[in-house]
Structures are given as structure tokens and as C-alpha cells.
């Protein structure tokens, strides 16, 4: 079975019994992802919470979506009945911007994972409000590979180009509703995650993505507001054939909250 990192809705409709579908809808404006799931989701899909399952509790020191402990992540997958080696298809209703977080977390552990290209809007089959009752499975905790994550202390000295996946406006000036300070990490390149997608809401062709991330000749690091949508940039780089990539998990919610760390502000001049 050919699988990932993107799959089409047509492929998924034919392979629902071969994969575990995971709904990871989450909203920055405070709407409930769980309520969205309950109102209608893909057949057989389980729901994982970006806050509780794909992250550790938020703190000022660590940011809004710190990486969960291996034990916390393994326990979430175990409760959802996702055994090691089970192909996972993640989806959301926002261009894959949240689904990519689960894709990245599974991929760095060597697990088969994909994102539904086009998300919920691409699915023209029926939706259901029924929650599947998959039995829990054993799931050992596996350590996060240290080479796929970068800490705040190591960020500026890493040497790889640094991409900011937030909107161009937040990169330049911040958003006081969610950003602790205006601006961005010094030297970061603006690469809003939404621009990885074409007009149809699906990922742009690899050649276009390679041009978009042209500075990443020897790999790259991505960050965003809290380490979620940055994974969309990392997925785009993967599609472009760019390796040696890493996530700055704390992202701006960590960096900007520390007044001792330098920042830059101003209009976007990068690609």
C-alpha cells in the first residue's frame, strides 16, 4: 500500500479499513475542536486534542504547546487504539495546519502517517456523529529524537535557515491577542503556512515548494506561534525533498515571552 505523506480523499474512501483516521480540529479563537468532531466527522475517525494529547500543559516558560512527554503521547495513542505500525491519516478543517502536527510527531518516531490533502473540505462522502469504540492497545513510550527538535538556547547558533510559519502580519508586527511581544526571531524568514497551499486548498506541487524554501539547501528549522502550524512548513519541505529539518517547539509563545531574548520587527522582506 502506497502511503503518505499526503493522501487524497478518493484514496482514503477506498482504504478506510486499512488506516486509522484521526480528527485533530482545533481553533485558536477558543472554539471547541471536540464539539466540531461531535457535530460530524469522517467515518471511523477518532479525535485527539491538540492541547491535551499532542502537547504538554502550557506554561510561560515552555510556551502554549510544548512537546508532550513520550509517555503522554503514547498513552493518547493507546487510548485511541492506535498500535505501533498502524498507518494514521490526520485531518482538520484548516488546510492541514493542525493535522501536520500529528503527522510530524509520528513521522519523527518512524511511524506511518499522512495528512488528508485538502482536509475535511475535500471529503465528499458521508459524515457521522458516532464515535468508534476501538479497544485500547499497548503502546510503549518512545523517546523523541533530539535531532528533530531545537531548543530556544540553540536556535540562533544552529546555522540552518529559520522559517516563521505565522501570517506575514504576525511575523512583522505580532498579534496582541496571542503573541507575547510583536515581531519575530532575529533572522527568521517569513513563510506563512497558508501559502504552502494552492487555490484549491491542497498542497502546491513539489517544484513550487522547493522554490518557496529555496534557502533550505542544507536543511531548515520551522517555528510558528506555538509549534503547531510550523509542522505545516515542515511537511511542505518534506514534499519538496528537503531533509535535515527540525521544529522549534516552543516557538514564539516561548521566545517572545522571555524579555531577555532578542527580537526583530518590521515589514516582511523575505519570500
Q: What number of other Cβ atoms are within 10 A of residue 85's Cβ?
A: 8
Does residue 220 contact residue 242 with C-beta atoms inside 8 Å?
yes
Catalytic residue set: 224
**pLDDT(3) > 90:** no
pTM of the model: 0.96
Rounded CA-CA distance 82/193 in Å is 28
* 162-194: pLDDT as tens digits: 999 999 999 999 999 999 999 999 999 999 999
**pLDDT(267) > 80:** no
* 92-129: pLDDT as tens digits: 999 999 999 999 999 999 999 999 999 999 999 999 99
Does residue 10 contact residue 123 with C-beta atoms inside 8 Å?
no
The vertex-18 CA angle with 205 and 99, nearest 5°, equals 45
Nearest one of 258, 271, 90, 66 to 163, comparing CA atoms: 271
**pLDDT(233) > 60:** yes
Q: Domains of the chain, with CATH numbers?
A: 6-143 (3.40.250.10), 147-255 (3.40.250.10)
Instruction: Mark residue 159 as left, alpha or beta (left: phi above 0; alpha: psi -120 to 50; beta: remaining).
Output: left
* 136-164: pLDDT as tens digits: 999 999 999 999 999 999 999 999 999 99
Rounded CA-CA distance 213/193 in Å is 12
Categorize the per-residue pLDDT at 78 as very low, low, confident or very high, splitting at 50, 70 and 90.
very high
Rounded CA-CA distance 258/261 in Å is 6
Q: Which three cell numbers stand for residue 173?
A: 508586527
Ordered strands of the 220-223 beta sheet: 189-190, 162-164, 220-223, 245-247
Rounded CA-CA distance 195/203 in Å is 9
- Residue 131 CA to chain centroid, in angstroms? 24
Categorize the per-residue pLDDT at 268 as very low, low, confident or very high, splitting at 50, 70 and 90.
low
Does residue 87 contact residue 112 with C-beta atoms inside 8 Å?
yes
Q: What number of other Cβ atoms are within 10 A of residue 38's Cβ?
A: 13
Residue 102 sits at φ, ψ, to 5 deg, of: -65, -40
Amino acid at each position: 500500500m502506497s502511503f503518505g505523506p499526503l493522501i487524497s480523499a478518493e484514496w482514503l474512501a477506498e482504504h478506510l479499513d486499512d488506516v486509522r483516521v484521526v480528527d485533530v480540529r482545533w481553533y485558536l479563537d477558543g472554539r471547541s475542536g471536540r464539539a466540531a468532531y461531535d457535530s460530524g466527522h469522517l467515518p471511523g475517525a477518532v479525535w485527539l486534542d491538540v492541547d491535551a494529547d499532542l502537547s504538554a500543559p502550557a506554561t510561560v516558560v515552555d510556551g502554549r504547546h510544548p512537546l508532550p512527554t513520550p509517555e503522554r503521547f503514547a498513552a493518547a495513542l493507546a487510548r485511541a487504539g492506535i498500535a505501533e505500525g498502524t498507518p494514521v491519516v490526520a485531518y482538520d478543517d484548516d488546510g492541514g495546519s493542525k493535522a501536520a502536527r500529528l503527522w510530524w510527531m509520528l513521522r519523527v518516531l518512524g511511524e506511518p502517517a499522512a495528512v488528508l490533502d485538502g482536509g475535511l473540505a475535500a471529503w465528499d462522502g458521508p459524515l457521522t456523529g458516532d464515535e468508534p469504540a476501538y479497544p485500547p492497545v499497548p503502546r510503549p513510550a518512545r523517546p523523541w529524537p533530539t535531532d528533530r527538535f531545537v531548543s530556544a538556547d540553540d536556535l540562533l547558533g544552529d546555522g540552518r535557515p529559520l522559517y516563521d510559519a505565522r501570517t506575514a502580519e504576525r511575523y512583522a508586527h505580532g498579534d496582541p491577542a496571542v503573541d507575547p511581544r510583536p515581531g519575530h526571531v532575529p533572522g527568521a524568514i517569513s513563510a506563512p503556512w497558508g501559502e504552502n497551499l494552492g487555490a484549491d486548498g491542497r498542497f502546491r506541487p513539489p517544484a513550487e515548494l522547493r522554490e518557496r524554501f529555496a534557502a533550505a539547501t542544507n536543511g531548515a528549522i520551522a517555528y510558528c506561534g506555538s509549534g503547531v502550524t510550523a509542522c505545516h512548513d515542515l511537511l511542505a519541505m518534506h514534499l519538496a525533498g528537503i531533509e535535515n529539518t527540525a521544529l522549534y517547539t516552543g516557538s514564539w509563545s516561548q521566545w517572545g515571552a522571555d524579555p531577555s531574548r532578542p527580537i526583530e520587527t518590521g515589514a516582511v522582506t523575505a519570500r
